[in-house]
Amino acid sequence: MAGPVLEVRDLFVSLRREVPIVDNVTFSVEAGKTVCLVGESGSGKSMIANAVVGLLPGTRLAITGGDIRFRGTSLPELGPKAMRDLRGRRISMIFQDPTSALNPVRRIRTQFDEVFSAHGVEPETGREARMRQLLELAHLPNPRRILDAYPFELSGGQRQRVMISMAMALNPDLLIADEPTTALDVTTQAQVLQLIEELKENFGTAVLFITHDFGVVAEIADDVVVLRHGRIVEQGPLEGVLKNPRNDYTRTLIAAVPHWHPRSGALDSDPLISARSLRKVFKGRFVALDDVSIDLLPGETLGIVGESGSGKSTFAKCLIGLEEPDDGELVVDGTDIMQLALPQRRRRRHLMQMVFQDPTAALNPRHTIGRTLMDVVRVNGCPRAAANDKVLSLLDDVKLDRKFADRFPHELSGGQRQRVCIARALAANPRVLIADEALSALDVSVQKQMLKLFEDLKKKRDLTIVFITHDLRVAAEICDSIVVMRGGKTLARGTPKDVLETDRHRYVEELLAAIPGQDWFSTGSAPSQLPTLEIAGQDNTHACQDSRLPPG
Amino acid sequence: MLKTVVSEIAKRIVVIVFVITGTFLLVRAAPGDPASFIAGEAASGDPEYIDYLRQQMGLDRSLPVQLGYYFRNLASLDFGQSYREGRPVFDMIAERLPNTLILAGAAFILALVMGTTAGFVAAVHRGRWIDRCISIGSVLFFSSPYYWVALLAILLFSGKLGWLPSHGTQTIGAGYTGIAAILDYLHHLVMPAMASALFTMAIYARLVRASMIDTANALFVKAAHARGMAPSRLWFRHVLRTSLLPITTMAGVQAGQLVAGTILTETVFAWPGIGRLMYDALGSRDYNVVIGVFIVTSVIVILANLLVDILYRFVDPRTRAA
Amino acid sequence: MLIWKSLFSKPDAVLALAILCAIVLAGLLAPVAYPDGPWRMVARPLLAPFADMRHPLGTDALGRDLLASLMFGARTSLAIGLVSTCVATVFGASIGAVAGFFGGRVDSALMRSTEMFQTVPSFALAILLIAIYTPSTFSIMIAISVVSWPPVARLARAEFLSMRRREFVQAALLSGQSNLRVAWSQIFPNILSPLTVMAALMVSMAILFESALSFVGLGDPKVVSWGYLISAGRGVMSQSWWLTFLPGFAIMLTIVSISILGDAIGDSQDPHFERRESK
């Protein structure tokens, strides 16, 4: 069939028929191609996806202009019955969070089977065989066990593969993937991206892929549509956009992909805090920390890197006292505080403060910024008369306007909230700042500024920073030393240069290989040590020339 | 699984022991002499009876020994004597218990079926007129004392319209047998069961509606929608099933209150169950009967809760695996 | 205040507030309007409503003014509803707060006992308590408090438990603020709205309870209550139905109004988290 699978023309989606959330968007997706919609929160990228499948949330959002054509048929004009026939059969969708996208109390088999029964399709080989075949295509070992399982018995990556298998069950012409890898670990992400790519090849499906990460874009896109505030700021073939971005905003997004500059040169002094053989077991079963020993030198930035379940957050919690280790020593300023009574322990730990992942959850919604800071300033011994000035100077320190003191958290943006959280941590006069994935809830363009803020504060206040992250590249760029954790153990430690280049552990190798978009954004991995742009371009053209199965 | 069932049962036994001990202590802490308190209206006129009570309760012994006596008596199903009727309290309860269980059971089924249906319909049509009607109805039923609604119903259905009998379990003097007797019984059951069910029904309707709307917003429902499921399938297979689970435990608690609530309906409809028995005993201050009914009611409620909890564990795969 | 503003934007809430105010006023003014109290025989028995405008709602079987009885009944119902709710809320919320904040063994011990209280059928327990301690306004209040605190405790515990895990609470603790201070200034304001809704529900339940207790003859014999009026009217129901109907209607009206207000207050206090487009 000729012509694009999906054509979106001059699309407007508006709130209460007034405020446009999607503003005059035009693009098309051809069979066997991947188009990436890229943008940060509020860019309207998910709205476009929802509009295509006809599932705009709530009753106040509506398509107010333009057209969406699927194989030449206008979707907004289709009746609910006809639309239902398309959904799942010819247009499929997968979501960001595979955990909540599966019904928690029904077996995978029942939910999978429903795809066939809802559309009245009987696969030639029978449903059971077809389901197993699809799960096998998604590289799920032992499909029968998967079918018998309930969602909570599977891992996040497995659930997303199941979702993808279900989406591909009826050979759809179009697959819409709404941030399908954002909730996954980097190694799982690489596998899922590869799976989508494979299935696209095998089935000749058109893919509309939504993401905020230019690394992912570089990995899988044929065409790129960059969105901001509901408008297209730039669109075109991947190569053109990456090589010669015409728009400043696109440049910011591309620059937000962390660079590859592993630092070298270690500090050398007596540790400020020294954790020795820490052990923590949850519910008597899950070993979160297994004999972990880490030294923190004064004035350094220590990166603790790992995937989910590696124990990196548990370690931070044990340091600061949100959890108590079951075993081991925690030496602060030369004293093992695990020997002390709880109140003394708490006082010793006071030199550490924490910045959390989600700044929205970390601020009391009923307190103004001023009050939040004031409370901390006051309990840390600042006299009443000087407290107000102190609050204002804290706002200055994190580069927030002083007028924010009278605002409530919901009036601030995510980045501004995270600045407030940093100010609150500073209000307790810490010597150590622990940042637990402090950037991952923020938009990519804000992450850069936040890194710079950490850097400035560190210099200005002589801070020691513990930086907990899943992103090796970020850690390599800003940390003096790195600890890589996996399954509650430390696997590698040393300067970024040592850990990531000179003396690479096999797991580090795996992590690096999994980073998406390596052809464009170097990670020092073996194949892309050379200047890469041309090679990557050829790679892509090569991929596009692949012969395809007829759709459907 | 067996382990959790055993531990659930053990938990309930602890609660029953707690209830009995609590009752015992309450009576001992009553103002004045416990024996003359239990004797109630007989206290002034019948010293012999009070002496009998004293002995039976072991009032000359220490408190723990008395408690031991108490448990021993209850274990042998000895709830003491009713002064008014001169019969063992347990026999009086036992002969009326089936009536109460039938009434409470019927009311529970009515409440469950009608409440869930109403909540389901309201959730599916949320924001439309039918949702509003159901919401208003459930607020009204929730807010009205149901013995009062029962009285008004008697006024209307037996007084004005003459459709339904207003009291008792059978038509006196009709001498029905076999099927006719059962139908007569059911005819008498209609109003009491409806009246007992109203309040609980209103609560179920609200719970089901809220829980379903919550579930309907979950991502997995949207995902199923995006796979092309028809709305009926979405609502029944995905939303209703998933949202009924968390309600199950609430349903158990409410069912317990429903048993206790039959005291009121039995009073209004002169339904010869243990609620009516308690009401009559309160009037004549026949406290052995009051306490006996209280303990039996509590045990029934606790067992009903136990049943619901075990059922829940079987139905929800997440707890089943744990 | 924000709450008032949002209340007044809802017509049903305004109506409910007006009705409730009228009932409260009636209760407050009862001794002024009828200085002789509700028990006196003032006219011929079973006078129909509106037959004699000095007794607008007529009289009962003993010739007592029904309007006077209803107004005094409002006093009883509201007083018992408010006092027992306050007692139960303060008690239950404290138990729940301690359990939820400290967790661990304290939590499981407290919650086990709460669960025990909750499994006992509350109406039967209230009857037993009042029967043993002779019916009086005081014993009724205590009995209702005793049977109604467990749900508050469970709610407060659940809220405290989830708040305790919230990052802003952890941050406040890490910054050096004391447990008590964090519980009071960080957590408590955030659970106020579910507690308010719960309290409104409890006032309703307490009024229903009190009337039901009076109906089965366990009311305070010294004061008039709506439940007592219903049971007193029962005997003459077939000819003077309004003697049964009006007191019950008063109960219904009160509780409907409280429910509507409770829901409206609950809605208006929801914190306005900014919900951004989900990515």
Q: pTM for the complete prediction?
A: 0.81
Residue of chain A nearest B314, judged by CA positions:
A105
DSSP string for A331-396: EETTEEGGGS-HHHHHHHHTTEEEE-S-TTTTS-TTS-HHHHHHHHHHHTT--HHHHHHHHHHHHH
Q: Is the pLDDT of residue A538 over 70?
A: no
Contact criterion met (CB below 8 Å) for B97 and B296? yes
What mean pLDDT is reported for chain B? 84
Contact criterion met (CB below 8 Å) for C163 and C195? no
Q: What token pair was written down for B17?
A: 């022991």
DSSP C133: T
- Longest pairwise C-alpha distance within chain A: 81
Edge to edge, what strands does the sheet with A489-494 contain?
A: A352-355, A432-436, A464-469, A301-305, A481-486, A489-494
Query: Which residue carries 């997303």 as its tokens?
Result: A160
Contact criterion met (CB below 8 Å) for A191 and A139? yes
Q: Is the pLDDT of residue B104 over 80?
A: yes
Contact criterion met (CB below 8 Å) for C210 and C81? yes
Express each pLDDT in A203-219 by its tens digit: 889 999 999 888 899 98
Q: How many CB atoms lie within 10 A of CB B100?
A: 25
Helix (H) or strand (E) holding A64: strand A61-70
Per residue, the 3-state secondary structure of A281-330, as one string, reads EECCCEEEEEEEEEEECCCCEEEEECCCCCCHHHHHHHHHCCCCCCEEEE
Q: Which among A45, A410, A427 has CB closest to C274?
A: A410
| Distance of alpha carbon C16 from alpha carbon C27, whole angstroms | 17
Banded model confidence at residue A432, pLDDT cuts 50, 70, 90: very high
Q: What token pair was written down for C30?
A: 């009862």
Long-range contacts, A445-448 (Cβ 8 Å, 24+): A445/A40, A445/A252, A445/A253, A445/A256, A446/A413, A446/A414, A446/A415, A446/A418, A447/A256, A448/A255, A448/A256
In a domain, C123, yes or no: yes
Express each pLDDT in A144-176 by its tens digit: 999 999 888 888 888 998 999 999 888 899 999
> How confident is the model at residue B11, as a pLDDT?
86
* Nearest CA-CA distance, residue B168 and chain C, Å: 17
Q: Which sign does the torsion angle of CA B209, B210, B213, B218 carry?
A: negative
* Nearest CA-CA distance, residue C126 and chain B, Å: 10
The domain containing residue C184 runs over which residues? 42-67+81-264
* Nearest CA-CA distance, residue A310 and chain C, Å: 21
Domain A6-255 falls under CATH 3.30.930.10: no
Q: Which among B223, B229, B316 has CB closest to A118?
A: B229
Q: What token pair was written down for B216?
A: 């309907």
* Average confidence (pLDDT) over A9-20: 85
Contact criterion met (CB below 8 Å) for B167 and B159? no
Q: Which among A352, A358, A411 has CB closest to C167?
A: A358
In a domain, C13, yes or no: no
In a 3-state reduction of DSSP, which class is residue A139? coil
* Nearest CA-CA distance, residue B224 and chain A, Å: 8
Tell me the chain B residues in contact with residue A167 when contact means C-beta distances shorter than 8 Å.
227
Nearest to B217, CA basis, from A208, A59, C159, A91: A59
Structural domain total, chain C: 1
Q: Give me the half-sphere count of Cα atoms (radius 13 Å) on the Cβ side of residue A112.
A: 30
Q: CB contacts < 8 Å between A and C, how many?
A: 86
Tell me the chain B residues in contact with residue C217 when contact means C-beta distances shorter than 8 Å.
279, 282-283
| Distance of alpha carbon B25 from alpha carbon B302, whole angstroms | 20
In a domain, C7, yes or no: no
Residue of chain A nearest B233, judged by CA positions:
A118
- Is C166 within 8 Å of A361 when comparing Cβ atoms? yes
| Distance of alpha carbon A208 from alpha carbon A30, whole angstroms | 10
- Cα angle vertex B197, ends B151, C229, to 5°? 30
> How confident is the model at residue C2, as a pLDDT?
61
> How confident is the model at residue B42, as a pLDDT?
61
In a domain, C271, yes or no: no
- Is A55 within 8 Å of B238 when comparing Cβ atoms? no
- Highest mean pLDDT range out of A476-490, B72-86, B225-239? A476-490
Every domain of chain B with CATH number 1.10.3720.10 lies at: 98-321
Tell me the chain B residues in contact with residue A160 when contact means C-beta distances shorter than 8 Å.
none
Measure the N-to-C terminal CA separation of chain B; round to a whole number of Å.
8
Q: Is the pLDDT of residue A330 over 80?
A: yes
Contact criterion met (CB below 8 Å) for A58 and A75? no
In a domain, C1, yes or no: no
Tell me the chain A residues in contact with residue B317 when contact means C-beta distances shorter than 8 Å.
105, 107, 150, 152
Helix (H) or strand (E) holding A491: strand A489-494
- Is B227 within 8 Å of A115 when comparing Cβ atoms? yes
Edge to edge, what strands does the sheet with A73-74 contain?
A: A19-29, A6-15, A61-70, A73-74
Asked whether the domain spanning A273-516 has the same topology as the one spanning A6-255, the reply is: yes
Q: What token pair was written down for C11?
A: 């017509």
| Distance of alpha carbon B4 from alpha carbon A59, whole angstroms | 45
Tell me the chain B residues in contact with residue C230 when contact means C-beta distances shorter than 8 Å.
145, 147-148, 151
CATH classification (class only), A273-516: alpha beta
Q: Where are the alpha helices (DSSP H) in B58-153?
A: 63-75, 89-124, 129-143, 146-153
Express each pLDDT in A357-400 by its tens digit: 888 889 998 899 999 999 999 988 888 888 999 999 999 999 99
Residues ≥6 apart with Cβ < 8 Å to B25: none
Torsion of CA A297, A300, A305, A310, to 10 degrees: 30
* Average confidence (pLDDT) over A128-140: 89
| Distance of alpha carbon A94 from alpha carbon C185, whole angstroms | 42
Distances in Å between the alpha carbon of B209 and those of A382, B34, B202, B214?
52, 49, 11, 9
- The pairing of beta strand A464-469 with beta strand A6-15: unpaired
| Distance of alpha carbon A183 from alpha carbon C233, whole angstroms | 66
- Is B152 within 8 Å of C244 when comparing Cβ atoms? yes
Banded model confidence at residue B44, pLDDT cuts 50, 70, 90: low
> How confident is the model at residue A40, as a pLDDT?
85
Best of A366, A378, A408, A466 to mutate (most C CBs within 10 Å, chain C): A366
Q: Is the pLDDT of residue A353 over 90?
A: yes
In a domain, C17, yes or no: no
- Is A101 within 8 Å of B241 when comparing Cβ atoms? no
Best of B126, B211, B220, B229 to mutate (most A CBs within 10 Å, chain A): B220
Express each pLDDT in B239-248 by its tens digit: 888 888 777 7
Edge to edge, what strands does the sheet with A327-332 contain?
A: A286-296, A273-282, A327-332, A335-336
> How confident is the model at residue B43, as a pLDDT?
61
| Distance of alpha carbon C163 from alpha carbon C157, whole angstroms | 10
Banded model confidence at residue A536, pLDDT cuts 50, 70, 90: very low
Express each pLDDT in C231-242 by its tens digit: 888 888 888 888
The domain made up of B98-321 has a fold known as MetI-like fold (1.10.3720)
- The pairing of beta strand A327-332 with beta strand A273-282: antiparallel
Q: Which CATH number belongs to the domain containing residue C122 in this structure?
A: 1.10.3720.10
Q: Is the pLDDT of residue A489 over 60?
A: yes
> How confident is the model at residue B300, as a pLDDT?
87
> How confident is the model at residue A93, as a pLDDT?
92
Q: Which chains touch B (3 or more CB pairs under 8 A)?
A: A, C
Residues ≥6 apart with Cβ < 8 Å to A14: A20, A21, A22, A61, A62, A64
Q: Is B143 on the interface with C (CB under 8 A)?
A: yes
| Distance of alpha carbon A194 from alpha carbon A477, whole angstroms | 27
Residues ≥6 apart with Cβ < 8 Å to A140: A146, A158, A161, A162, A165
- Cα angle vertex C59, ends C55, C64, to 5°? 95
Best of A97, A184, A348, A364 to mutate (most C CBs within 10 Å, chain C): A364
Domain ranges for chain A, please list them: 6-255, 273-516
- Is A119 within 8 Å of B245 when comparing Cβ atoms? no
Name the more confident of A28 and B310. Answer: A28
- The pairing of beta strand A432-436 with beta strand A464-469: parallel
Per-residue pLDDT tens digits of chain C, which is 279 residues long:
566 777 777 888 899 999 999 999 988 988 888 887 777 777 777 777 777 777 777 777 777 888 888 889 999 999 999 999 999 999 999 999 999 888 888 888 898 888 888 888 888 899 988 988 888 899 999 999 999 999 999 999 988 988 888 889 999 988 888 888 888 888 888 888 888 888 988 999 999 999 999 988 888 888 888 988 888 888 888 888 888 888 999 999 999 999 888 888 777 665 443 333 222
Chain C window 150-179: which residues touch A at a Cβ cutoff of 8 Å? 166-168, 170-172, 174-178
> How confident is the model at residue A266, as a pLDDT?
67
Banded model confidence at residue A426, pLDDT cuts 50, 70, 90: very high
Contact criterion met (CB below 8 Å) for C127 and B282? yes
Q: Is the pLDDT of residue A71 over 80?
A: yes
Distances in Å between the alpha carbon of B289 and those of B74, B93, B281?
13, 8, 6
